[in-house]
Amino acid sequence: MTYPRHIQILTLFLFLGITASAQQENTDAVYLSQLKEYTLNKDGSWSYRYSHRLKLLSYFSFHTLYGEDFIVYNPEMQKLKINHSVTTMADGTKVVTPENAYNEQLPGFAANAPFYNNLREMAVTHTGLERGAVIDFDYTLSSSKDFSPAMTGNELLWMNSPLKELTFIINVPNGVTLNVEQYNVTSKPLVKKEASTTTYTWTLTNLPAATREDFRPREQQNRPRIVFSTAKNAAKLVESFLAQPAFTLKTDEVIQNNVLEIRKEKITDLAVMMRIQDMVANEINYHLVPLSIAGFRVRAASETYKSNGGTEAEKAVLLASMLSAAGIPSEVVAVIPDRFYDKKTFNLQLVERFLVKATRANEEPVYLSPLQNDLQDQRYWLAGKKIITLVQGKSLQVDTKKIDGNELGFTGNFIIGNSMDITGTISLELTNRLDPFLKLAQDSAYAKKLISGIFDTPEISLSTINRLNNEELTVRYQVAATGKIKEISGHYFLKIPSLPSGVDGWHMTEMVTQRNEPLEIPFLVNESYQYSITLPEGYEMVSPEVSLNLNKDFGFIKVNITRDGRTLQINRSIHLAKTTIEPADYAEFRLLLNSWNNRKYREIIFRKGPN
């Protein structure tokens, strides 16, 4: 039956309406509106106002996701005002949040940090919640002029649920320059000047929910973001931050005596450096207090040491101070994403982490973490980063590091005995971030652990380090192992060895069929395995020979398994030349990784041949 055209058109619009409604309802909640507003006052104080209207669509939304709101602040320098908190139930009934639903508590990250026990977290428990209810929530947080060096922001405009309309506002007094950069935001702000204030307003509509896919871009560079600062420039902001006594890197007598004892125990500068790092990383508690919540304040090394705990910035100051006291010149550095660095909009909320740059005599500087024992120089984790040196009295220094790819080469010659024992020799080559230079320089026995994912330590009879520096390691091993070969019904199965320090360590073994966001791999790698395996007399390979070559723009894999009598030649290699895989390339990347993980390319099967 053919319907009139106007009926067809009406049916189409109804279908589209139902589809759009279904897509909206296929979520736990939806933000009907959201407001984020920053206001700088003439005296340097500033305020942040936040509000939202949130519609709840599922039981999960109010039982787990949005039943409460939490606001962390510092009562000594900030004042919190709840403007209103009302729930409109599905039938239109309005329920005002009662007084006993507002409860102050200590933030979880400050629980074991006595110096930060002044911080507070306001927990607001919403009432009258049900499916179809709308939470209308609004508060203002006002900060004193001494709370931060300037009014700054690094706002990621992305929520866990869809957002229909977002209004983002920045108000500054006339005469104050607002430095601002926007990323993945196409609309320009509406600028309005009044008698004493200039207002910048962005309006964004129909923002999708943040997805929770694995291996998402670590810097979230694909999402809308606004970065701003009311400081004159990065140099002025950093200068103000560094005016704190902590950045003199001075130590007290207790720390100096401790450093002196370490100097007596350790012979080389490298040994001293690693022992001090171990002390700061493992013997001084780490307080997960964000720098912005601490008012961008950093305590001096002696205070952190005496209290046996500090934030990442404070532990970095302590590490740099102790190393300097030990005669190893050191500086604290801040690390931020290169893509978000701008001389005008740079602010401390962009800092991803703090490291220490330590320089031994006649050696290249080494970058150390204050939070862990480093196996290798942290410089190999700084590709695509800006490194900002934090030294009092010096002009702003911003560096970048050009980091080459990482090589993993594994060569083995193995003989399988009649009892299915394996003996042979191995050559291993690692470069850059895969080379545990700092650890091996102190403990050569650690070389055996590099292949512990394949052979147990007792199975490694000899390891010889042929080359060791901060860029390259080569080691030779002799091994004798049993229990590596499984026997089922007269067939023997041997898993082709591969190291967990390479692609296998990423555990990309179960990959979804499609993605909405780019996929970011942990690091670039060129990984190769070459084996010669001799089977016992009278045995033959029954698994097929293999020749696979997949070459894509982002990398390639090659697998070749051949036999010549009892000798098998196995060559497996994977090379990944791009860290970010766009959704359009994901299907081919998935094919590449699934092929790399395919069992038929990772295992050989053999049996005893006919007499």
Task: Check: CB of residue 519 under 8 Å from CB of residue 589.
Answer: yes
Where along the chain do its domains lie?
Answer: 26-209+220-230, 239-399, 406-608
Q: Does residue 334 contact residue 340 with C-beta atoms inside 8 Å?
A: no
CATH dotted code for 406-608? 2.60.120.1130
Half-sphere exposure of 210 (CA within 13 A, CB side): 14
- Other Cβ atoms within 10 Å of 205 Cβ, number: 9
Strands (E), 449-587: 460-468, 472-481, 485-488, 491-495, 519-520, 525-534, 539-541, 546-552, 555-564, 567-576, 580-581
Q: Which fold has domain 239-399?
A: C8orf32 fold (3.10.620)
Distance between CA 382 and CA 391 in Å, rounded? 20
Nearest-CA neighbor of 531 among 430, 454, 444? 454
Helix %, strand %, coil % of the chain (to 5) = 25, 40, 40
Euclidean distance between CA atoms 357 and 323, whole angstroms: 10
Q: pTM above 0.85?
A: yes
- The DSSP secondary-structure symbol of 390 reads E
Q: Does domain 26-209+220-230 sit in CATH 3.10.20.30?
A: no
Structure confidence at residue 38 (pLDDT): 98
Q: What digits encode the pLDDT tens for the residues 148-177? A: 999 999 999 988 999 999 999 999 999 999
Strand-by-strand arrangement of the 353-358 sheet: 366-368, 353-358, 330-337, 385-390, 397-399
- Is 267:319 a contact under the CB 8 Å cutoff? no
CA–CA separation, 343 and 337 (whole Å): 13
User: Alpha-carbon Rg of the chain, whole angstroms?
Assistant: 30
Among the listed residues 374, 354, 378, 375, the one whose alpha carbon sits nearest the alpha carbon of residue 366: 378
Task: Specify the amino acid at residue 66.
Answer: Y
CA dihedral 277, 280, 285, 291 (to 10 degrees): -90
Task: Return the pLDDT at 115.
Answer: 94
Q: Contact, 77 vs 144, CB < 8 A?
A: yes
What is the pLDDT at residue 183?
A: 97
Longest dimension (CA), the chain: 101
Show the tokens assigned to 568. Answer: 């098998």
Q: Which H helix or E strand runs over 276?
A: helix 269-283
The DSSP secondary-structure symbol of 9 reads: H
CB atoms within 10 A of CB 604: 22
Contact 400, 338 (CB under 8 A): yes
For Cα atoms 524, 529, 534, give the angle at the middle one, nearest 5 degrees. Answer: 175
Could you tell me which of 144, 168, 141 has the C-alpha nearest to residue 82?
141
pLDDT at 211: 81
For 569, the 3-state DSSP assignment is: strand
Q: Which of 424, 409, 373, 371 is nearest to 572 (CA)?
A: 409
CA end-to-end distance (rounded Å), the chain: 75
Residues of the chain with pLDDT under 70: 1-25, 611
